Amino acid sequence: MEPAGALPPSCSPAPEAAEPPGSPALPAEERPSASAAQEARRRGPDPQGPAGRGARGGGGRAPARRGCEPGGRARRPRVTVDSSKAKTSLEALKISLRQLRWKEFPFGRRLPCDIYWHGVSFHDNDIFSGQVNKFPGMTEMVRKITLSRAVRTMQYLFPLEYNFYPRSWILPDESSFFEKEIRMMKDRDPSWKPTFIVKPDGGCQGDGIYLIKDPSDIRLTGGLQSRPAVVQEYICKPLLVDKLKFDIRLYVLLKSLEPLEIYIAKDGLSRFCTEPYQEPTLKNLHQVFMHLTNYSLNIHSGNFIHSDNVNTGSKRTFSSILCRLSSKGVDVKKVWSDIISLVIKTIIALTPELKVYYQSDIPAGKPGPTCFQILGFDILLMKNLKPMLLEVNANPSMRIEHEQELSPGVFENVPSPVDEEVKVAVIRDTLRLVDPQKQKKKDIQCQTLEHVSDTKEELLDAGPPDRLEHDANKNTEAGLPSLCLKQVFPKYAKQFNYLRVVDRVAALFIRFLGVKGTTKLGPTGFRTFIRNCKLSNSNFSMASVDILYIDITRRWNSMGIDHKESGMCWQAFVEAFFCLAQKKYKSLPLHEQVASLIDFCEYHLAVLDEKRLVCGRGIVERRNALVTCQTDGLQLTPAAHTSLLNRMATASKLADYRNHQY
């Protein structure tokens, strides 16, 4: 499919898709235009605007008590944001904070802030409270190799649900396997002439990416050992607009990890190549402006077009592309629905290992910040309109200006209306969703509703929760457009919860880590896992358990997985768990094998926890009884006490054996 022609001036974005799962509503008329956003940026907040009236001094303000607005209402405390580590997102963040009328601390603050905005990672600052816009471990999780492994795990379990990610091989670990597999496929089908794309693991902005036709063409410059990479099947039949290949940058907010909460921006960016697309051949294989959509590469092309119009140029809004497709009869609701599904499934693949990192940096029960993060999803639409995931960015660029060459070698930063329209809205509305003052109000409202729900009349007087929340936020949200971020999870949880199998495996892994702050499971922890879950038997002895642990751990450690601490890493534990599931449930498909083993482990751990709870209560009761007996002049002898405990233990073991043997 190759839509052509100019965007009809009367074309408006398609309406929101019906559930489940529907598409986000495309940008509505209330969103400020690019020119209006620029004007607001230059002008700053209107002191007499709806959100500003009564906030700061004006000549005609009526006297009021300190800390109160005119009329006696308590003034809302201003949310404080530490932007000292914001880096490239600083300008968009400043505009957002001005629109929200929040207090910025560009050089940091001695006192704690409500929100810390980091430019690179969770560890940009040492934080012990508030909220931070990065998850620990996210940068490592979305690296090309780690992402490929996470998605591959889900492809093993649910191959049809995860067919949106190209077939991938990890170099150098799978170099020989890659060569053998391609040779076998070519032998089976001599007409198959594939193209592959090689992406360095730590590369960004198109750095080091190249195309090959044969495994023997892989470049060894610098050595794969020093720079590992992912090689993928190249998507040869992309959707074209104006004969150009393009990709989509969508912004996704991971608001919470537990419980999982995901939002998708209703608009994104479309980044275009700058040379007309042709399917890869040996002659055009090295033409990066034809095959690679990276903005950082194409901006250096002489054909790159900077445009202030969201419908034209080498960078446009995604809504303009959807509008154009809609005018050609494309079902854009279906496109959005497929994209939402891709995003949710990808995050479900990432969250298990992300939880391992999270508990390492913020152990349960210890003080620490809560986290949220804006992710950049790079998606390619195929000719048949199927979305394919290219990569996920932990630190998507939030710059709202671009470099323009005034004369040879002389550049200046020029505002980019397209970037500003999309990115400022994403940052501003992310802050609105994580507003700590809103959370406090919700907590107060919940307590109020619980208090008044004792009688029906009081509950009716209080009004429905949505109305209460609307009234509470009415003044603080005045003058702002509607949210550009739409919740997709847990909204569509029912459709996707069956995929969260590996999340439950992660809970088992974290339970047996033992020492808080670690990410690797020691041999004692692995043996305890096997023993407590009753996975050893006459056919699988503890000696076999030790061999399994040593073999898998040694292989994963040889792959260059983090050597800072010894033990079994998360990926190795997943492999061991799958191996145990296949041993125990041989006749079932893999996803049922894994789910059955999880159920088995969770059951035995629940029984163990219940026994410990009962035992703990029994000890307390016996201590109390002993004190009572001593007070009454009676004495329970140690021999009698020991005999009683032995009889209880024997009875418990016998009952357990009868009820749970397998």
Average pLDDT, the chain: 80
How many percent of the chain have pLDDT more than 90?
52
Instruction: Give 180's pLDDT tier (boundaries 50, 70, 90).
Output: very high
pLDDT, position 613: 87
448-461 tens-digit pLDDT: 555 545 444 443 34
Output the six-digit token pair for 194: 């594939």
pLDDT, position 559: 80
**What is the per-residue pLDDT for 124?**
66
pLDDT single digits (tens) 383-427: 999 999 999 999 999 999 877 766 677 777 888 899 999 999 999
Arithmetic mean of pLDDT, 540-568: 86
What would the mean pLDDT of 632-644 be, rounded to a whole number?
Answer: 48
pLDDT at 192 (0 to 100): 86
pLDDT above 80: residue 494: yes
Say which residue, 599 or 60, is predicted with more confidence: 599
Rounded mean pLDDT of 198-223?
79
pLDDT in tens, 252-275: 999 999 999 999 999 999 999 999
Query: What CA–CA distance (Å, rounded) separates 370 from 135?
Result: 9
Q: Is the pLDDT of residue 649 over 70?
A: no
- The per-residue pLDDT for 30 is 40
pLDDT above 90 (res 142) = yes
Using pLDDT thresholds of 50, 70 and 90, give the confidence band for residue 296.
Answer: confident
pLDDT over 50 at 18, yes or no: no
Given a cut of 60, whether residue 662 has pLDDT beyond it is no
Asked whether residue 59 carries a pLDDT value surpassing 60, the answer given is no
What average pLDDT does the segment 79-93 reach?
Answer: 88
Q: What is the pLDDT of residue 309?
A: 87
Specify whether the CB–CB gap between 306 and 271 falls below 8 A: no
Which is more confident, 567 or 122?
A: 567
> Percentage of the chain with pLDDT > 70?
73
Residue 600 confidence class, pLDDT cut points 50, 70, 90: very high
Render 66-97 in DSSP notation, one character per residue: TTB-TTSPBPPPPPEEEEEE-GGGHHHHHHHH
Supply the pLDDT for residue 558.
Answer: 84
| pLDDT value of residue 363 | 74
- pLDDT at position 349: 97
Angle between helix axes 144-157 and 570-584 (nearest 10 degrees) is: 10
Handedness of CA 84, 90, 95, 96 (dihedral sign): negative
What is the arithmetic mean of pLDDT over 335-356? 97
Which of 244-248, 365-369, 625-629 has the highest average model confidence (pLDDT)? 244-248
| Terminal Cα distance for the chain, rounded | 57
pLDDT above 90: residue 627? no
When mean pLDDT is compared across 413-422, 503-512, 628-637, the lowest value belongs to 628-637
* CA dist., res. 379 & res. 392, Å (int): 9
Confidence of residue 26 (pLDDT cuts 50, 70, 90): very low
Average pLDDT rounded to a whole number, residues 640-648 = 50
> How many angstroms separate the CA atoms of 55 and 47, rounded?
8
pLDDT in tens, 350-369: 999 999 999 988 877 777 78
pLDDT surpasses 60 at 437: yes
Own/partner long-range contacts of 333-336 (Cβ < 8 Å, ≥24 apart)? 333/14, 333/15, 333/17, 333/18, 333/22, 333/23, 334/17, 334/385, 335/23, 335/381, 335/385, 335/387, 336/17, 336/22, 336/23, 336/24
The pTM of the full predicted model, rounded to 2 decimals, is 0.80
User: Could you tell me the pLDDT band of residue 308, with boundaries at 50, 70 and 90?
Assistant: confident
- Mean pLDDT along residues 559-567: 71
Q: Do residues 269 and 419 lie in contact, with contact meaning Cβ atoms separated by under 8 Å?
A: yes
Q: How confident is the model at residue 45, as a pLDDT?
A: 47
Buried b (16+ CB within 10 A) or exposed e, 597-621: bbebbeebbeeeeeeeeeeeeeeee
Query: In this predicted model, which residue has the larger pLDDT, 113 or 119?
Result: 113
Mean pLDDT, residues 310-334 taken together: 94
Distance between CA 39 and CA 32 in Å, rounded? 10
Q: CB–CB of 476/47 below 8 Å? A: no
Which of residues 479 and 11 earns the better pLDDT score? 479
CB atoms within 10 A of CB 354: 24
**Helix or strand or coil: residue 616?**
helix
Give tens-digit pLDDT for 155-167: 999 999 999 999 9
Identity of the amino acid at 47: P
What local confidence, expressed as pLDDT, does residue 434 receive?
95
